[in-house]
A and B are shown apart, each in its own frame.
Chain A
């Protein structure tokens, strides 16, 4: 663990990697805005959110160096996503079952 943490603190990725990720993020931003003007039915929010998840993953993995981080950091990042999933899924299922609103 100490070895791993030591390695993680000294990881230096080539600067070109940041520009590659940046280019991908800009292309995806253009794509999501472009696609928004077409009627894809139910797929519109799915496509928009999938692109958002992909962009967020690129930022987390490369800009935030998660790819080069210790397993403990991965667990905390994973826990954040998992807990958010509990929040959203349980709230949505609760409201759906009760038939409130609408």
Chain B
């Protein structure tokens, strides 16, 4: 990234950000550069996360091509109503997260805190509904490795579907739990009045993470619940 035009040691550079901002780390020219670096770092991390989930999506894709019939039978045992409701819950949490970031940019501390709390409540609601779905799967003996039974044909293939179902939704739920931990820290920082109009980068990049987890679910929902529903 190009640096500032080097200013004379004697003449103060009028364009330079005031070095007095306590949020500015010494190795950055100004807050804008610091913000850009943090944002890029988060996007790089999310790019590695795409590959992390990509492995599971690949496994899903191969087995679905091989066993389309069983994939449909197993997929239809999932509760489409709970799946749709959970999708709406998660999308709403993305809206409130975006509003929290907006409130941080306009320096409305109480709104930042309220929107973060609502986002976290919706995140917990998502995990609650997901737990109930897991409970149903346990009750139906659809959990691989635990007295697994499947009514349809080819139970050993259905076993693969449910293994992937638990791996993908479980990894997604783990990301949600980590996200709740991150938002707790952000909430504490907001409560302590750490964010200003000029510097609220942690709120923004935590928002990027939260939206990313939402996007993973946007793909998991149709792949696991919807694609074979009509048969």
Contacts and interface: CB of A to CB of B under 8 A. Distances in A.
Interface of A: 1-2, 5-6, 8-10, 12-13, 15, 18-19, 21-22, 25-26, 29-30, 32-33, 36-40, 44-45, 48-49, 51-52, 55-56, 59-60, 62-65, 69-70, 72-73, 76-77, 79-81, 83-84, 87-88, 91-92, 95-96, 101-102
A15 B99 contact: yes
Given A40-B230, A56-B219, A29 B51 contact: no
A2 B227 contact: no
A35 B31 CA distance: 47
Of A12, A62, A80, A92, most buried by chain B (CB within 10 Å of CB) is: A80
Interface in B77-116: 80, 84, 87-88, 91-92, 94-95, 97-99, 102, 105-106
Given A49-B223, A63-B95, A73-B39, 8 more contacts: A2-B29, A8-B35, A26-B88, A36-B222, A59-B214, A87-B54, A92-B61, A102-B67
Nearest to B4: A2
| 8 tightest Cβ-Cβ pairs between the two chains A and B | A80-B47, A48-B222, A36-B226, A6-B32, A5-B36, A36-B229, A101-B66, A9-B35
Q: Secondary structure at chain A's binding surface: helix, strand, loop or mixed?
A: helix
B40 interface: yes
B30 to A, nearest CB: 8
21 contacts: A2-B2, A5-B33, A9-B31, A10-B32, A29-B87, A33-B80, A36-B222, A48-B222, A48-B227, A49-B223, A52-B218, A59-B215, A64-B212, A72-B40, A76-B43, A79-B47, A87-B51, A87-B54, A88-B58, A95-B62, A101-B62
Contact of A26 (B33, B40, B66, B91): B91
Interface in B177-213: 204, 207-208, 211-212
B230 A39 contact: yes
B24 interface: no
B171 interface: no
Contact of A63 (B29, B31, B66, B98): B98
Contacts of B214: 59
A77 B47 contact: yes
Given A56-B215, A59-B94, A92 B44 contact: no
B22 to A, nearest CB: 17
Interface of B: 1-2, 4, 29-33, 35-36, 39-40, 43-44, 46-47, 50-51, 54-55, 57-58, 61-62, 65-67, 80, 84, 87-88, 91-92, 94-95, 97-99, 102, 105-106, 204, 207-208, 211-212, 214-215, 218-219, 221-223, 225-231
A1 B2 contact: yes
B2 A45 contact: no
A52 B217 CA distance: 9
Contacts of A40: 230
A19 B47 contact: no
A44 B227 contact: yes
Given A29-B88, A49-B222, A63-B98, A77 B66 contact: no
